[in-house]
Amino acid sequence: MQTRLQEMKETAIEQIRQAADAQQLQDLRVKYLGKKGELTELLRGMGSLSAEERPVVGQLVNEVRGALEAAFAAKQDELEQALLSAKLASQSIDVTLPGRPIPTGTMHPLSRIIEELEDIFIGLGFEIAEGPEVELDHFNFEMLNLPKDHPARDMQDSFYITDEILMRTHTSPVQARTMLKKGGKTPVKIICPGKVYRRDDDDATHSHQFTQIEGLVVDKGIGMSDLKGTLLSFARQMFGENQQIRLRPSFFPFTEPSAEVDLQCFNCGGSGCRVCKHTGWIEILGSGMVHPRVLEMAGYDPQEVSGFAFGMGVERIAMLKYGVEDIRHFYTNDVRFLRQFNRG
């Protein structure tokens, strides 16, 4: 019996080595180790052995089983490796094939303009300030020299939430908030970009929600020339280095004097065209010297310090810069419109 076992082991191992594929290997496994396999058959024959022989043969059977299992495992490994190598060899990857384009989103033109504006003003030494969109009447109007029943409140039709709370109609309340936070210290030099809300009917140039950027500078000895110099520098960085601006007298309750700032028409260079309605100039923002009452209410002595402020509509700047003729394009999110701003 021992010799038969030895022989079986040798033939089996030889056959396993020769197996050409997984199927042949599986067949051999059944043939030797299966329920009706040769090794199992031999085990059945152990009943006829003497008591002395039994443990010796039993141990040998276990050894043979172990050797066969090891041989099966090694062969299986070998076959799998061979399969993998064959697969790798047959499938080559063409690294020169162009990739499939993955469409990505693009930065919204308004975000782009806001970033550009922020970069320009940060370059001029300004800091970015923020304030709430749901605002107190107190900051939106009162602190800006617009007491209740002031006729100028009509310039900004508002969405009121309660008698004292509204959606801010402009970013100017951030002026008062910033000055109060500074506690009378100078210099104050901030811009504040943000959303504002007005009870307007939407059309090509009006939107019930739009974006403004507020600017405020307060320090000793600030004059109208600082206002003009700052805004000229901004206009040239935004619209081209040969830009001219002009200041036109205007009225805002929170500035005195107040000025509307016009940009020389970049379309016709000032000679008059459709874009500038044949005036040669395009209005881009409101500004002025901070009203002494506003400084006082926010804790500054108007005898000691002065300041200038300005506010502009971001959509308007974007429309002028990119030649967009309808403000609603910024909010309807037509990808054909938005994609045009994807310049990488």
* Binding residues vs ligand DAH (CB under 6 A): 170, 172, 214, 252, 255, 286-288, 309-311
Q: Return the DSSP state at 100.
A: P
Two structure tokens written together for 344: 């990488």
* Burial bucket for residue 309 (CB in 10 Å: 0-12, 13-18, 19+): buried
Q: Would you tell me how many other CB atoms lie within 10 Å of the CB of residue 110?
A: 19
Exposure string (b/e) for 18-38, b if CB count within 10 Å is 16 or more? ebeeeeebeebbeebbeeebb
Cα 266 to Cα 264: distance, rounded to the nearest angstrom: 6
Tell me the closest approach of the beta carbon of residue 115 to ligand DAH, in angstroms.
21
Nearer to ligand DAH, 178 or 287 (CB): 287
Tell me the closest approach of the beta carbon of residue 174 to ligand DAH, in angstroms.
10
Tell me the closest approach of the beta carbon of residue 247 to ligand DAH, in angstroms.
12
State the residue number with the nearest CB to ligand DAH. Answer: 311
Two structure tokens written together for 110: 């308004």
Nearer to ligand DAH, 12 or 166 (CB): 166
Tell me the closest approach of the beta carbon of residue 188 to ligand DAH, in angstroms.
13
Sign of the CA dihedral with 225 first, then 229, 234, and 239 last: positive
Tell me the closest approach of the beta carbon of residue 212 to ligand DAH, in angstroms.
6
Tell me the closest approach of the beta carbon of residue 213 to ligand DAH, in angstroms.
9
Contact at 8 Å (CB) between 177 and 139? yes
Nearer to ligand DAH, 65 or 195 (CB): 195
Nearer to ligand DAH, 193 or 286 (CB): 286
Cα 337 to Cα 309: distance, rounded to the nearest angstrom: 33
Tell me the closest approach of the beta carbon of residue 191 to ligand DAH, in angstroms.
10
Nearer to ligand DAH, 154 or 241 (CB): 154
Contact at 8 Å (CB) between 259 and 248? yes
Tell me the closest approach of the beta carbon of residue 173 to ligand DAH, in angstroms.
9
Nearer to ligand DAH, 43 or 232 (CB): 232
Cα 16 to Cα 26: distance, rounded to the nearest angstrom: 10
Nearer to ligand DAH, 57 or 312 (CB): 312
Nearer to ligand DAH, 28 or 190 (CB): 190
Cα 337 to Cα 325: distance, rounded to the nearest angstrom: 12
Which residues are CB-contacts of 153 (< 8 A; sequence separation ≥ 6)? 141, 146
Residue with tokens 């805004």: 231
Collapsing DSSP to helix, strand or coil, 60 comes out as helix
